[in-house]
Amino acid sequence: MEKLFDHQFHTFESGLRLISVPMEGTKTVTVMVMVGTGSKYETKNINGISHFLEHMMFKGTTKRPGPLDISRELDALGASYNAFTDKEMTCYYAKTSVENIQVAMDIVFDIFLNSKLAEEAVQTERHVVVEEINMYNDQPQYIVAMNFDRLLYGDQPAGWTIAGDKATILGLKRQQFVDYFNTHYIAENTVIGVAGNINTEMVKQQVAAAFGNIRRGTPFSKLAVKEQQSQPQADIFYKKTDQTHFILGFRSFSMNDDRRYPLGVLASILGGGMSSRLFSEVREKRGLAYYVSASQDLRTDTGCFEIDAGVNNDRALEAVQVVMQEIVKVKQDGVTADELERAKSQAVGRTALALEHSDFIAQSYAGSLLFKNKVLTPEEELAKIKAVTLDQVREVANEIFVNEKLNLALVGPFKEAEPFKEILKI
């Protein structure tokens, strides 16, 4: 794929980083501010504060005192806007028409820089966050993902939930938000991404003016993740459901390990679409599932290869067995040259679709800066995928598809775990 965008990167004196990506063929612009903090940067007594703080940032600034002052202005632009918190990143963004770029920048930057974190808003919003946790706890797909992380990492930040537990959320004090805000939302830990039909010099000038007095400091480091496993592990969570949900996964590689590229190709072959091996075997041939897919979960210091499925309760054991059989087939026989080429072609096609959207571009470029401190363009990513060989796919399959890296989290109407544990053998 030829080079599509001439991005411009600038580091301000404060350490704040800006990546601007002109996209002449679009009528939209996305303004995004990323900060390198999330639940893996928390301690147990404040677990959930990153996510809670994300909520608080929309509750009013000195310039826009109340939540309606923020939402009405963005709604009037017809903007798509939101924020999200992950284990290692929190992000705020607005996507709107190019005519509204300066207003969108002003609002997003104001939220990030000048949120009031008012006591009254803290007291009200904590109950909203609790209801969000309650909502997740009613969703088997969320529970199984939460249990899977806990199975892998246990009682350390990597194994905690992003939202935190209800008791902690109800006990957080305003000063804890202020302290976290002032020590984590700092110039050296922040990347701004702006993508769309933009004038890069205007963007740079507006960012410089808005962030002239941004908070400074030394970025917090997160605890190193401890991984210990010597045999297959399973977590079977009893819940009366109409469908059994499970994640069968293997410890694998971090986002900084180039072995993730052949493993990504393997994920595509196994569960990357309706023609994938798992979709064919589990859903089409046997009618065991509605959804089944394979993917990677990539972090700066950990990684996991995951197979997710929602299957018939009465045939859940059979479904896990079929997935295990497909894993063994790949390890023993590898994949075919045709499968490899289709997976590469799929990556090219999906990237081409994503490149039409300014929000994808902003997040892709800003994310590579935040986590790698360098720009890794979509074209460079695709070049690494295209270079994957059959031998590399076989090597990563042999490396991660082993008993001492195998984990199963399952949610459904099952009180006995042993039948599932007995089939977790490669």
Q: Give the tens place of pLDDT for each residue, 13-68.
A: 999 999 999 999 899 999 999 999 999 999 999 999 999 999 999 999 999 999 99
Return the closest-CA partner of residue 180 out of 58, 292, 57, 325. Answer: 57
Beta-sheet pairing, 233-238 with 406-412: parallel
User: Tokens 């401890």 correspond to what residue?
Assistant: 226
- DSSP state string for 334-386: ---HHHHHHHHHHHHHHHHHHTT-HHHHHHHHHHHHHHHSS---HHHHHHHHH
Question: In the block, which residue shows the tokens 């479904």?
Answer: 319
Whether the Cβ atoms of residue 173 and residue 126 lie closer than 8 Å to each other = no
pLDDT digit string (tens) for 281-334?
999 999 999 999 999 999 999 999 999 999 999 999 999 999 999 999 999 999
Residue 58 · residue 111 · CB < 8 Å: yes
Q: Which of 155, 147, 157 shows the shortest CA–CA distance to 224?
A: 157
Beta-carbon count within 10 A of 380 CB: 12
Residue of 206, 215, 203 lying closest to 112 (CA atoms): 215
Block residue for tokens 């694998």:
252
Report how far residue 66's alpha carbon sits from residue 220's, in angstroms, rounded to the nearest whole number: 30
Closest by alpha carbon to 22, among 78, 98, 80, 83? 98
pLDDT for 3 equals: 63
User: Which tokens go with 247?
Assistant: 């994640």
Just list the catalytic residues. Answer: 54
Sheet with 17-22, edge to edge strand ranges: 8-11, 17-22, 190-196, 28-35, 90-97, 80-85
pTM: 0.95
Please give the domain boundaries of the chain with CATH numbers for all domains. Answer: 8-210 (3.30.830.10), 233-422 (3.30.830.10)
281-282-287 Cα angle (round to 5): 110
Assign 103 a pLDDT band (cuts: 50, 70, 90): very high
